[in-house]
Amino acid sequence: MKKSDLREVAKGVALAVVLGGASASMSLSAAVTGTFPTVEGAPAPTDSTKLTPDEQRRHDLIARTKAIYFGGESDQRPDRDSVESLIARFYSDQFRNSRDPEAPYFMFMSRDANLAMGIGGVINVEGWFDWNGSIPGGQFDTYNIPMNKTPENWRNLGASVSGTNLFFTILGRNTRIGDFMAYIQAGFNGYHNSGFKLKKAWFQWRDFQIGLAPTTFSDPAAQPDVLDPAGANGRLDRSNVLVRYMHTWKTHWTFAGSVEFPNSQPEVDDQLTRKCNDYIPDVAAFGQYQWNRGQSHVRLAAIMRTISYHDLVANKTRHATGWGALLSTMVQTGPWLQLIGQTSVGQGIASYTGDLSDGNYDLMAVADNAGHLYAPTVLSGTVGVKASWLGNFSSTLALSTMRNFVKDGAAGDAYKYGQYLAVNTVYKITPRLQVGLEYLAGKRKNVNGDHSNANRLMALFTVSF
């Protein structure tokens, strides 16, 4: 091969490492919307004073990047807007929430800015103190509040790196096939436990997405901004292997539908009933109206599913139909105040919820009809308010409840309802470094009337790279 040919090949594979530094570009304002989904074509504010604190932070994360090229000619480098617009697509995710990682600090980019590859992560260190009843582990799951308080579980001091994640992403655009993105994320359980858990693994091409991703029957962006890694007990945030189509029309309307691989959790005893393999996919959809550059929205989501079990008394396979509806909203009222709320109701959807996913409540035994199961009605509600003040300070108040409406004859220790409270203050030292303090309170009540409370004070240190 000639030297001139080698030079041409080197130009073609020139890479850029994206670091920090460079002036801000206001063309990003429409794309960088804090924890909110990007709305393509949404108008940008005319100056930085109209950006919310979350928008400004995301804007700075992208606009301060600097591209360093290896090989190629300087006149072949892409313009600044092309580089930044590609990175901004990392935040174009309708299912993103505040606990998801920021864009990678280091990215490799093709010389035409049409392909970027990055590896990043989040170091999450949390410490907590429980009193008047403790919950084991770093997640404040009200489902796991012990009913019988003893001197052994009355207090607890603990620490964990649960929530520490690594991820890999590829962002690309092609004139023939359009935009595409691949994403893999996995997290550590903490030093008290072993294991490395895959959380997300999906590929998106234009309006299609396939892989392990948050269910369409959810709205992660409308979840309160709490430090507790478990989140509010009334949340809907399950991830499934799915195939999804999602499209935005005329900026304000987004519709999505998916076929999702099921994983039901019925209550069976292997004496009167036995679980069958799931073989009918769950089907979910949502419709959403958004405004204010995508920072505010209202979403209505629904799901249908079929759960099978074997009636050992009649030696017959039976099927129960599950359904669910979710109404959620997020409203940015001015630059400093954010309101969120969501409520869900359904039958046979307990495994999609926060608290009840820890048990087997999709189907429960019918007390006076041996071998039969029914789908109990579950109801959840969450409200939250986030205030940004003094620049890099923010505070969140969240209230949540989960209720399980069981029929007469249910086991006395079955979950009846749980309540959750979180109040926090967070200081963002830099766009990628934050510390926070949070007070948590929870209550669980069982069918037989037994109930118990727990309290926690949590401190958090997080750095994203």
DSSP symbol at 448? T
Chain CA centroid to CA 417, Å:
23
pTM, 2 dp: 0.82
The pLDDT value given to residue 17: 33
pLDDT of residue 195: 67
User: Which 3 state secondary structure label does DSSP give 89?
Assistant: helix
Closest CA to 358 of 253, 239, 233, 219: 233
For residue 93, the model assigns a pLDDT of 65
Q: How many domains does the chain have?
A: 1
The pLDDT value recorded for residue 81 is: 66
Gap between the terminal Cα atoms of the chain = 40
- The candidate with the shortest Cα–Cα distance to 181, out of 208, 215, 199, is 208
* Distant-in-sequence, close-in-space partners of 122: CB < 8 Å, separation ≥ 6: 101, 102, 163, 164, 165, 462, 463, 464, 465
How buried is residue 157: exposed, middle or buried, by Cβ count under 10 Å (0-12/13-18/19+)? exposed
Query: Which residue range forms the structural domain that includes residue 293?
Result: 3-464
Contact 245, 258 (CB under 8 A): yes
- Look at residue 72 in the predicted model and tell me its pLDDT: 53
- The candidate with the shortest Cα–Cα distance to 402, out of 373, 433, 378, 374, is 378
**Number of Cα atoms under 13 Å in the Cβ half of residue 335:** 13
63: number of CA atoms within 13 Å, CB side? Answer: 16
Three-class SS of residue 19? coil
Question: Phi and psi dihedrals of 76, rounded to 5?
Answer: -95, 0
Phi-psi region of 255 (alpha: psi -120 to 50; beta: other; left: phi over 0): beta
Determine contact, residues 36/338, Cβ cutoff 8 Å.
no
Dist CA 259 CA 342 (whole Å): 23
How many C-beta atoms surround the C-beta of residue 20 within 10 A?
Answer: 14
Under a CB-based contact definition with an 8 Å cutoff, are residues 419 and 377 in contact? no
pLDDT number for residue 21: 34
Residue 224, domain CATH: 2.40.160.10
Mean pLDDT per 10-residue interval, the chain, length 465 residues: 40 35 34 39 47 70 60 58 69 71 77 79 91 85 86 85 87 82 83 70 92 94 90 90 93 94 91 91 96 89 95 92 96 89 95 89 90 93 91 92 90 91 93 93 92 94 90
